[in-house]
Amino acid sequence: MQDTFGRSINYMRISVTDRCNLRCRYCAPDGACVQADGILTDEEILRTVKAAVSTGITRFKVTGGEPLMRPGCADLLRRLKAIPGVQSVTLTTNGTMLAPLAKELAAFGLDGVNISLDAPERAEYARIAGADRLPDVLAGLDAALAAGLRTKLNCVLLPGCEKRLISLARFAAERPIDVRFIEVMPIGAGREDPGPDRDKALAILRTEWPGLHAVNECRGNGPAHYYADDALMGRIGMIDAVSHRFCENCNRIRLTCTGLLKPCLCYGESVDLRGALHSGSEEDLRAALCRAVAAKPRAHCFEDRAGITERRGMSEIGG
């Protein structure tokens, strides 16, 4: 489906819970969450995805909160993957609960997993994440690779992260995975914490890998710009939405766990899907999806804080 600016919208991020077992200081430091009876059911999510497929949205990322906190999340992922017309289902997770599920996810053909990892050293990880869970995350990463899942690491460019960038990037030297660095977006607690931007991060990485060079590759759902070096098995990705806005290529829409369709991360506007879900009509669902796509603005305004109208945090939206 095309939006009013001619962009092709083929990707939906689906938040399946706003609960999280971490308290990352830039994301969900106090961990508020809605009551379970306000959360979309599996059936409602599946119906939304079927309607989305019929409008040309065929790629889905399951997110949260921490999606694996949702009871039965692996089964929901399996059912999403089995919907005719769905091209790709991937998961983004903090990795703490991944290890025991990795084989099952690989067995039904999950198309990939992104693991969030902001520090490779245990005490620093615990300070940022608010929980001493680094060993569980690394076990999740190893299990994902052993199961043959396509795996990426996501690391936020937090203030003070300069000293750990090379150790984080080294995961791509030692394993066949992409390591992606995400500029802090001024959403939720991220408003208080601008960290280094892409160019600063690249300059630091080039002190270790001077040959790191841009490659024109799309390796998933879109937004990362990738860099390669002969000494790295995987790629380095930069998700540089703040310093190098890439809205002209935006291909996405977001579904919150309470049934709101968000046209853009930056603004509070949303289309409420619950009326359409309660009516039971796929046509109503399609119409609501089309309204949300039609409402997509040309661009975010992260550089102009006053224009940002989204007041919720990333864990409520799905990142």
What is the CB neighbour count within 10 angstroms for residue 199? Answer: 12
Which of helix, strand or coil describes residue 318? coil
Q: Which is nearer to ligand SAM, 237 or 319 (CB)?
A: 319
Angle between helices 42-54 and 282-294 (to 10 degrees): 70
CA distance 310 to 314: 10
Tell me which stretch binds ligand SAM (CB under 6 A): 49-57, 205-213, 221-229, 311-319: 311-319
- CA 83, 87, 91, 97 dihedral sign is positive
Tell me which stretch binds ligand SAM (CB under 6 A): 82-90, 160-168, 183-191, 283-291: 183-191
Q: Which is nearer to ligand SAM, 68 or 276 (CB)?
A: 68
Q: Which residues contact 289 (CB under 8 A, 6 or more apart)?
A: 1, 48, 51, 52, 55, 57, 253, 261
Record the tokens describing residue 94, joined without a space: 């903090």
* Contact positions with ligand SAM (CB under 6 A) in 2-21: 20
Which of 102, 137, 147, 156 touches ligand SAM (CB under 6 A)? 156
Indicate whether 27 belongs to the interface with ligand SAM (CB under 6 A): yes
Indicate whether 140 belongs to the interface with ligand SAM (CB under 6 A): no
Which of helix, strand or coil describes residue 155? strand
Instruction: Give the max Cα distance, the chain.
Output: 58
Backbone angles phi, psi at 139, to 5 degrees: -65, -40
Tell me which stretch binds ligand SAM (CB under 6 A): 53-61, 90-98, 119-127, 253-261: 90-98
Indicate whether 190 belongs to the interface with ligand SAM (CB under 6 A): yes
Q: One symbol per residue from 45 to 84: x for binding ligand SAM (CB under 6 A), - otherwise; what is it?
A: ------------------xx-x------------------
Q: Which is nearer to ligand SAM, 95 or 259 (CB)?
A: 95
Indicate whether 92 belongs to the interface with ligand SAM (CB under 6 A): yes
Tell me the site size for ligand SAM, rule CB under 6 A.
21
Q: Which is nearer to ligand SAM, 189 or 228 (CB)?
A: 189
Q: How far is CA 60 from CA 96, 261, 304, in A?
A: 22, 14, 30
CA distance 7 to 216: 20
Which of 90, 94, 151, 256 touches ligand SAM (CB under 6 A)? 94
* Contact positions with ligand SAM (CB under 6 A) in 244-283: none
Angle, alpha carbons 68-66-177 (nearest 5°): 80
Indicate whether 125 belongs to the interface with ligand SAM (CB under 6 A): no
Indicate whether 169 belongs to the interface with ligand SAM (CB under 6 A): no
Q: How far is CA 153 from CA 33, 178, 297, in A?
A: 26, 6, 29
Q: At closest approach, how far in Å is the CB of 70 from ligand SAM?
A: 11
Q: Which is nearer to ligand SAM, 48 or 315 (CB)?
A: 315
CA distance 225 to 231: 19
Residue 252's DSSP bridge partners are: 11
Q: Which is nearer to ligand SAM, 12 or 51 (CB)?
A: 12
Indicate whether 93 belongs to the interface with ligand SAM (CB under 6 A): yes
Which of 74, 144, 184, 295 touches ligand SAM (CB under 6 A)? 184
Q: Which residues are near ligand SAM by CB under 6 A?
A: 20, 26-27, 63-64, 66, 92-94, 116, 154, 156, 182, 184-185, 187-188, 190, 314-315, 319
